[in-house]
Amino acid sequence: MTDSILIVGGGVAGLTAAIACAEAGVRAIVVEHDAIVGGRLAAAMTQKSSVGDSIDGVPIPKLDALAKMSNIEIFTLANLEEIQGGPGNFDISIRERARFVTEDCTLCNHCRPVCPVVRSNEHDAGLSYRKAIYAPFPETMPPEFVIDIDACLNTPPNYLPCNRCTEVCDDDAIHFDVPLERLHQRKVGAVVLAAGFETATDSGASHRGYGEYPDVVTTAEMERLLTAPGPTGGFAARPSDEEYANSILFILDELTPFAVHIVASQIGRLIAQDVTKIALLVTNQPGNGEQGSLLQGFPEGLTVNYGLLQKVEARADNKITVTYADFSSSRIPEEQYDLVVLNSIVSPASGLDGLAQVIGCELADNGYVSRPDSDNSCATSRPGIYAAGGAAGATILGTAVAEAEVAASAALAHLDPRLLGDGHAAAGDSEAGLEAAVASQEELRARIERALFAMLESGE
Ligand code: SF4
Ligand code: SF4
Q: What angle do CA 240, 47, 452 make, to 5 degrees?
A: 80
Instruction: Specify the range with the lowest mean pLDDT, choosing from 49-63, 278-292, 395-409.
Output: 49-63
Domains plus CATH for the chain?
4-97+183-198+347-457 (3.50.50.60), 202-343 (3.50.50.60)
Q: For 318-350, what is each residue's pLDDT tens digit? A: 899 999 999 888 799 999 999 999 988 788 888
Is the CB of 107 inside a 6 Å radius of any atom of ligand 1?
A: yes
Q: What percent of the chain has pLDDT over 90?
A: 47
Name the percent of the chain lying above pLDDT 70: 83
pTM: 0.79
Which of 153, 163, 167 for mutating ligand 2's site (highest number of atoms within 8 Å of CB)? 153
Assess whether the C-beta atom of 111 lies below 6 angstroms from ligand 1: yes
Are the beta carbons of 295 and 303 closer than 8 angstroms? no
Residue type present at position 451:
A
Residue nearest to atom 8 of ligand 2 (CA): 115
Ligand 2: residues with CB < 6 A are 114-115, 117, 132-133, 147, 152-154, 162-165
Q: Inform me whether the pLDDT recorded for 388 exceeds 70.
A: yes
Q: Pairing state of beta strands 334-337 and 320-326? A: antiparallel
Q: Tell me the mean pLDDT in the region 429-447.
A: 47
| Between 424 and 37, the higher pLDDT residue | 37
pLDDT at 435: 47
State the pLDDT at residue 128. Answer: 80
Tell me how many helices (H) and strands (E) the chain has: 10, 23
More confidently predicted of 364 and 67: 364
Whether a cis peptide bond, with omega within 30° of 0, leads into 156 is: yes
The amino acid occupying position 177 is D
Q: Which residue has the least CA distance to atom 3 on ligand 1?
A: 105
pLDDT of 30 over the 60 cut: yes
Ligand nearest to the CA of 160: 2
**What is the best residue among 99, 102, 104, 106 to mutate for testing ligand 1's pocket, by most ligand atoms within 8 Å of CB?**
106
> Which residue lies with its CA nearest to atom 8 of ligand 1?
105
173 lines ligand 1 (CB under 6 A): yes
Closest residue to atom 1 of ligand 1, CA basis: 169
Task: pLDDT band for 290, please (50, 70, 90 cuts).
Answer: low
Compute the distance from residue 74 Cα to the ligand 2 centre, in Å: 26
Nearest-CA residue for atom 2 of ligand 2? 152
In this predicted structure, what is the pLDDT of residue 458? 45
Closest-lying ligand 2 atom to the alpha carbon of residue 163: 1
Q: What is the mean pLDDT of the chain?
A: 84
Task: List the residue whose alpha carbon is closest to atom 4 of ligand 2.
Answer: 165
pLDDT at site 52: 64
Residue range 151-191, pLDDT digits in tens: 999 876 556 689 899 999 999 999 998 999 999 999 999 99
What's the pLDDT score for residue 51?
A: 61
Distance 412 CA to ligand 1 centre (A): 40
Residue 442's pLDDT is 55
User: Could you tell me the pLDDT band of residue 427, with boundaries at 50, 70 and 90?
Assistant: very low
* Phi, psi values for residue 68, rounded to 5°: -85, -10
Distance CA 176, CA 155 (A): 10
> In 198-275, where does DSSP find H-type helix?
219-225, 257-272
pLDDT at residue 291 in the model: 64
**Does 447 score more than 60 pLDDT?**
no
Number of Cβ atoms within 10 Å of the Cβ of 347: 16
Residue positions counted in the chain = 460
Higher confidence at residue 195 or residue 123?
Answer: 195
**How many CB atoms neighbour CB 155 within 10 A?**
16
Banded model confidence at residue 223, pLDDT cuts 50, 70, 90? confident
